[in-house]
Amino acid sequence: MEFNEVVLGRRSIRGFKPEPVPKDVIREIVALAIRAPSSMNTQPWHLHVVSGAPLERIRQGNTERNLAGVPASREIRMHGPYAGIHRERQKAIAAQLFEAMDIDWADKARRHDWVMRGFRQFDAPVSIVVTFDRDLEDNDIAIFDCGAVVNCLVNAAWSKGLGCVINGQGIMQSPVVREHARIPDDQVIMSCVAMGYPADDFPANAVVSRRRAVDEVVNFVGFDEA
């Protein structure tokens, strides 16, 4: 695929075929992803590719703890609820997804079901837990670097016919993820990426999220100065 085709075509995938993803395909995708730039080429990331029984245990543990009302525990600093324009954008993508899935805002049961799907990593056959070296814990640059590798990862996966959703919900109960994905103590859990072959008939997979206009994002300085 051409670069434009990958970047413009990629979207988050939240419904997957049950078929497993061969290890060799994941290796090819990771080989592309780890060409991501990082500060001083430190490459602080680790990718824990979880499938099968351990992933089922993570889904189950996340579900049980969330239903029991255990507060979220993440290993990176978190913002509180979004406000202002960020909240508006959050609401806009939720509205697009709910419309596609035919979920009414007033239908609390189906909204709850959608949230629980997120905690189950959308039942994807693979979850890639992204961590970084703990000795860089007080260093925001390591988190920037993890973002770079994850962006490369989701685009590389798309270029090979796979779909992903970066899934903050999937690591909200981080002790469960740490235990079953067997994360070493000297690494910090950053996020996870649910991955698999996109289900053709899952309506949310067709949602194309909106973006701000280039002129709203960019601030050219000095171009028109003599």
Binding of residue 12 to ligand FMN (CB under 6 A): yes
Q: How far is the CB of 183 from ligand FMN (least distance, A)?
A: 18
E strand spans, the chain:
45-50, 126-133, 163-166, 187-196
What binding mask, one character per residue, do residues 14-33 give for ligand FMN by CB under 6 A, x or -? x-------------------
Question: Looking at this protein, which amino acid is placed at residue 41?
Answer: N
**How far is the C-alpha of 190 from the C-alpha of 46, rounded, in Å?**
10
Q: How far is the CB of 166 from ligand FMN (least distance, A)?
A: 4
**How far is the C-alpha of 182 from the C-alpha of 195, rounded, in Å?**
19
In the block, tokens 């925001």 appear at: 140
**How far is the C-alpha of 87 from the C-alpha of 169, rounded, in Å?**
17
Q: Which stretch binds ligand FMN (CB under 6 A): 33-41, 76-84, 126-134, 167-175?
A: 167-175
Question: Looking at this protein, which amino acid is placed at residue 187?
Answer: Q
Written as six digits, the tokens of 136 are 């860089």
Three-state secondary structure string covering 18-38: CCCCCHHHHHHHHHHHCCCCC
Q: How far is the CB of 52 from ligand FMN (least distance, A)?
A: 22
Q: How far is the CB of 153 from ligand FMN (least distance, A)?
A: 12
In the block, tokens 């994905």 appear at: 181
Binding of residue 166 to ligand FMN (CB under 6 A): yes
Question: Looking at this protein, which amino acid is placed at residue 90?
Answer: Q
The dihedral region occupied by 78, where left means phi > 0, alpha psi between -120 and 50, and beta the remainder, is: beta
Residue pair 206/8 in contact (Cβ under 8 Å)? The answer is no
Interacting residue with ligand FMN among 21, 165, 189, 193 (CB under 6 A): 165
Binding of residue 169 to ligand FMN (CB under 6 A): yes
Residues that bind ligand FMN (rule: CB under 6 A) add up to a total of: 12
Q: Which stretch binds ligand FMN (CB under 6 A): 16-24, 62-70, 101-109, 159-167?
A: 159-167
Binding of residue 116 to ligand FMN (CB under 6 A): no
Which is closer to ligand FMN, CB of 14 or CB of 46?
14
Binding of residue 118 to ligand FMN (CB under 6 A): yes
Interacting residue with ligand FMN among 1, 78, 83, 93 (CB under 6 A): 93
Binding of residue 167 to ligand FMN (CB under 6 A): yes
**How far is the C-alpha of 95 from the C-alpha of 92, rounded, in Å?**
5
Sign of CA dihedral 117, 105, 208, 77: negative
Within 180-219, the residues that bind ligand FMN by CB under 6 A are 191, 209
Q: Report the interface residues with ligand FMN, using CB under 6 A.
A: 11-12, 14, 93, 118, 165-169, 191, 209
